Amino acid sequence: MDDDAIIALFWERSEEAIRQTAKKYEPYCRAIIGRILPCAGDVEECLNDTYLGAWNAMPPQRPAALKPLLGRIARNAALDRYDYCRARKRSAAFETVLDELSECVGGDATQAGVDCALLGEAIGSYLRRLPPVQRQVFLRRYWYCDDIAEVALRYGFTASKVKSMLHRTRRGLREYLMKEGFSL
C-alpha cells in the first residue's frame, strides 16, 4: 500500500492504518529505535509509541511523506525512553555518539540557556551547506546512530576516512555555531 493510501486511512481513523504502517515501516522504525535502545522490550514499546504518535498526529497533520514523520516519531520515542532508562543503565553505543557530538555542541544546552529551536535551525543550516555525501555520512552517524563500520561500508569508504570526515564536520559545525553566536 502506498503512503497516500495509508495517510488516508489515518484520516478516516481506520485501525487498518496501524496495520499497514507496521507492515511497511516496522523494519525502518525498528532500526532507528534499535540504534538508541539495546533492550528488545524497549524497542517494542517505542514501536507502539511510534504508531500511537502517528495516530495522534493525523489528523490534524497531513504529511507530504509518511516515512520521515515515522522516523522522527520513532527517534523521539527512543530518545525519551533512553532518558528514562539512562539512570538505570547506559547504552554504550549511543553514549559514544553523544560523546562525539559533545565536542561541537558541548554540555547540556538547556542548562546553558541555549534556545534549542534556534540551535537546531543553525545545525540544519550548516548541514545544508555541506556536500551531499558529507551530510549523509554525518546524518547516518548522528541521526541514525550507525556505527563507523556500517557508514564506511554503505559509502565504500575506509573506517579511517569516515572518522576523519566526521571529525572535520564536527569541527566545522562547532566553528559555524560559534560564528553564529552560540557559546558552547
pLDDT in tens, 69-128: 999 999 999 998 888 776 555 555 666 777 777 777 765 544 444 577 788 888 999 999
pLDDT over 70, % of the chain: 89
Average pLDDT for 21-43: 93
pTM of the model: 0.65
Give the list of residues 6+ apart from residue 93 with CB closer than 8 angstroms, or none: 35, 38, 145, 147
Give the list of residues 6+ apart from residue 166 with CB closer than 8 angstroms, or none: 100, 137, 138, 141, 148
Q: Flag whether pLDDT at 16 surpasses 50.
A: yes
- Who wins on pLDDT, 42 or 117? 42
Band of residue 144 on the pLDDT scale cut at 50, 70, 90: confident
* Bond prior to 60 in cis (omega within 30° of 0): yes
| CB 174, CB 103: distance < 8 Å | yes
Band of residue 48 on the pLDDT scale cut at 50, 70, 90: very high
